[in-house]
Amino acid sequence: MEVMSLSDHANNTTTTTDDQDTGEKMDYSSLCVVSPVCRGLKSLSITGPPGKFSDNSVIVPPANLHELVLRLHEVFESNDISVEYVQRLMTSYTSNRKEWKRFAKFDQFRYTRNLVDAGNGKFNLMILCWNEGQGSSIHSHANSHCFLKVLEGSVKEELYEWPSPGSPDNNMAGVMKKWTEHDYEKDQCTYINDSIGLHRVENRSHVNKAVTLHLYSPPFDECQCFDERTGKATTSKVTFWSKFGRRTPFGRNPELGPGCCVIEKK
């Protein structure tokens, strides 16, 4: 078991983010998440006395999406959070299109990120909508913890190793190495963080759309995207296509090209 502080970023600085509604800075230095070092979440446990949100706690499935959100808020009130518990809780929710359809906004050119709940400063919850054949770039998660649950359709996840540093002349590492891939169907849930690797998510169906529910802890507004052929990384700023069921100004920008919801490249 590895206990990872969300403030333990590569630069050893405390991570803060702007609350987009209030402008308030949120500090995540006190939030610790129990983080697996591999994809198999079998026997993780919270350090200290077991609580009601420990790995082996009995989970009563949420009655609906609203109840799931309320229970996630309760879980993230703690400073010690079991990755396995959160994954099991999200898995236990049975997707009902009537409960989330108002958040599901599709775009013909790229997949969309649609904010469902801003969380309590320690996480946010969003729905991603994938038209037929749409997918993300290979990307990191800015030292965040990412849970992905399929609400409708199916998606393929490809996992990649972090590229080796390139030469000083061209800063390219060469073709990126894919080490595994998984298909996820409705109501299945998976987890990734940057210590596991990088990933790409794609709806490979040519006839069906896909909808996925994502929880990120802590929230982030930029990540690294990677060129599969060269390993070159680009820092990209991400935004929301809609918030709480309403389109954002970004969602109306016709100049943005296909791909993920990137609004700026540095």
CA distance 127 to 156: 16
DSSP code of residue 105: -
Amino acid at 119: G
Q: In terms of residues, how long is the chain? A: 266
Binding residues: 139, 141, 199
Return the structure tokens found at 72.
């996630």
Phi, psi of 140 (to 5 degrees): -95, -175
- Residue 57 vs residues 41, 67, 118, 162, 221: alpha-carbon distances, Å: 14, 18, 26, 34, 33
CA distance 193 to 12: 17
Binding residues for Fe cation: 139, 141, 199
CA distance 71 to 148: 17
